[in-house]
Structure formats: C-alpha cells, structure tokens
Amino acid sequence: MIHSLNKRFPLNRRQWTMISILFAIAFLVVVIVGSFLLDEGRMATNLQNRNSPPSFNHLFGTDWLGRDMFTRTVKGLSLSIWVGLIGAIGSVSIALFLGMAAATMGKAADRIVSWLIDLFLSVPHLVTLILIAFTLGGGFKGIVIGLALTHWPSLARVIRAEVMQVRSAEFVQVSRKMGKSQWWIAMHHILPHILPQALIGFMLMFPHVILHEAAVTFLGLGMSPHEPAIGIILSESMKYLSSGMWWLAFFPGLCLLLIVRTFDHIGENFRMLIDPSRAHD
C-alpha cells in the first residue's frame, strides 16, 4: 500500500513522516476541541436511559446513572491530555535545569544532581507518584505536581551527557577564550543544541505521564471522583463488568490506548525526522 502511494505521490520518507505527525496532532486537537463542543447535559443523570448498550444515540452506551459514556470519555481524554501536558512540561523543565546545572556548575553540583537522579531512579515512578499525590491530598494539583516531580530523572541524565559533550566542542572553547560568560555560552551554544533532545524527551514522556495519571486515579489517589477522568471511569466500571456492561470499560480503555499510541507515534517519528543520519531518506 505504501509502495503504491509512493508511486502516486512522490514523497520521500521524511515527508511521509511529517504528514503522519500532522495527522496525529490533528487527531489530538479534535479530541480537545470536541470536549468543549459536546453537550455537558448528556453527562447528567437520566435513569430512564441507564445501562443502555452502544447505539446511534449513545455511541459508547450509558452507565448505571444514564450518563452518556461517549461524552464522559471524550471529556476524560481531554482532561488527561491537559494533565499530561502540564506534568510533562514541568518534568522536562526540571530535567533541563538539573541536566545543565550538573554539567556546567562544577563537580559539587554534578555529584548532587547525579545523586538525585540515582535516588529517583531507584524507586519506581508509580510508587513515588502515589506518595507525592497522597501527601498533597490528591486532586488536580496533587497529581500534576507528582507527575512533574517523578518523570525527569532519565531525561536529566541524557541532557547531562549531551551538555558535557557540547561544552568540550571547539566552538564553545573559542567562545570561552573570547571572554564569554558561562551564562552566555549556556544560552547561545548549549541550550539550542539540547532543545531537540528535550522536545523528543517531552514527546516520549507524555504517554507515560498519561498512563501513570490514569493508574493513580484508578487507585483513588488522583483526580477528584467528580471529574470525568478516564481512571475514574475505569475504576467505577469494574463493579459492573460482571453484569455484562462491557462497554463501560472497553471504549474508555481503548480510547486511552489510542491517545497514548498517538503521542508515542509522534515522538518516535519526530526523533526520526530530526536525526541527521536520515536526512536524505
């Protein structure tokens, strides 16, 4: 199929990759915009339509209170995207700061940052996230802060290695001999070099952030039960699966998987797109 498309549309691999990234981004934008356009009244209690299987009026069926599952799922996906966006941006910012500090502020700073990285990597993300979210009382604030504070170590280690490699480059040494300050070198030479790595790290971190948010919310330590979060929807549906109401968990779980795979697809393709060794593919 791809071979036939290449005959009809003579595009190279990088161009097809860019098109696939744009389609994936468009899908995510549709989900976010759709959450604002859907009628929130369909999430109100309607006992006359409770436990309805999927139909044209209710694409994903209704739950035990008669709430439209399609509307709840889209709202939950949009909420998960926003939580993941804020959490991933916070985590990438921490990784950038600590990675650059470790490589540019001397051996003492490098030892402290390396110790912090090893400390956070020695404990599973989910355990640390649960502890932080529980300490902060859960909710939107607790889960976002927990996500930002637990997903930076691996990216910080990569950025630290990149910065140490760049600072020994010839153009950096020339700038240092010309009297440029460490801050000027960091902003004009080091930061532009590591920004693509940080962007790729953000794209690849996003799916993990969303999944961990859903997992913690599923356990009851994340988002408020009044929010239409995917974790809450899946947690509530567990009590009704034995009654044959399979659609309560199937469609929200499938949509969450699609969102995660979409972000993963964007990250992997973007990494291939900026890879200089594939510039002529």
The tens digit of pLDDT for each residue in 46-62 reads 778 888 888 888 888 88
Q: Which residue has the higher pLDDT, 276 or 16?
A: 16
User: Where do the domains of the chain lie?
Assistant: 13-39+61-278
Amino acid 8: pLDDT: 55
With a pLDDT cut of 90, the percent of the chain lying above it is 2
Q: What are phi and psi of 218, to 5 degrees?
A: -60, -35
CA 269 to chain centre: 15
**Mean pLDDT calculated for residue range 252-277:** 77
Q: Mean per-residue pLDDT for 254-272?
A: 80
CA distances from 69 to 51, 59, 120, 136, 252 (A): 10, 8, 38, 30, 8
The residue with greater pLDDT, 264 or 10, is 264
Provide the whole-model pTM.
0.80
Handedness of CA 136, 141, 147, 148 (dihedral sign): negative
Q: Is the pLDDT of residue 243 over 70?
A: yes
Nearest 10 degrees: Cα torsion 40, 41, 47, 52: -60
Residue range 176-217, pLDDT digits in tens? 788 777 777 777 778 888 888 888 888 888 888 888 888 888
Question: What pLDDT score was predicted for residue 279?
Answer: 46
Q: What backbone phi and psi angles, to 5 degrees, belong to 245?
A: -90, 65
Our measurement of the distance from residue 194's CA atom to the centroid of its chain's CA atoms, rounded to an integer in Å, reads 19
With cut-offs at 50, 70 and 90, classify the pLDDT of residue 274. low
Which amino acid, residue 253?
A: G
Range 13-39+61-278: architecture per CATH: Orthogonal Bundle (1.10)
Determine the pLDDT at residue 91.
Answer: 92
Number of other CB atoms surrounding residue 4 within 10 Å? 8
Give me Rg for the CA atoms of the chain: 23
Share of the chain above pLDDT 70, in %: 92
The contacts found for 190-199 with CB under 8 angstroms, 24 or more apart, are 190/100, 190/104, 190/163, 190/166, 191/100, 193/162, 193/166, 194/96, 194/99, 194/100, 194/159, 194/162, 194/163, 194/166, 196/274, 197/158, 197/159, 197/162, 198/92, 198/95, 198/96, 198/155, 198/159, 199/270
pLDDT of 2 reads: 45
Indicate if the pLDDT at residue 232 is higher than 70. Answer: yes
Query: Which CA distances in Å does 66 have to 26, 242, 280?
Result: 31, 18, 55
Give the mean model confidence (pLDDT) for residues 7-26. Answer: 70
E strand spans, 45-175 = none
Residues 223 and 146 sit within 8 Å (Cβ to Cβ): no
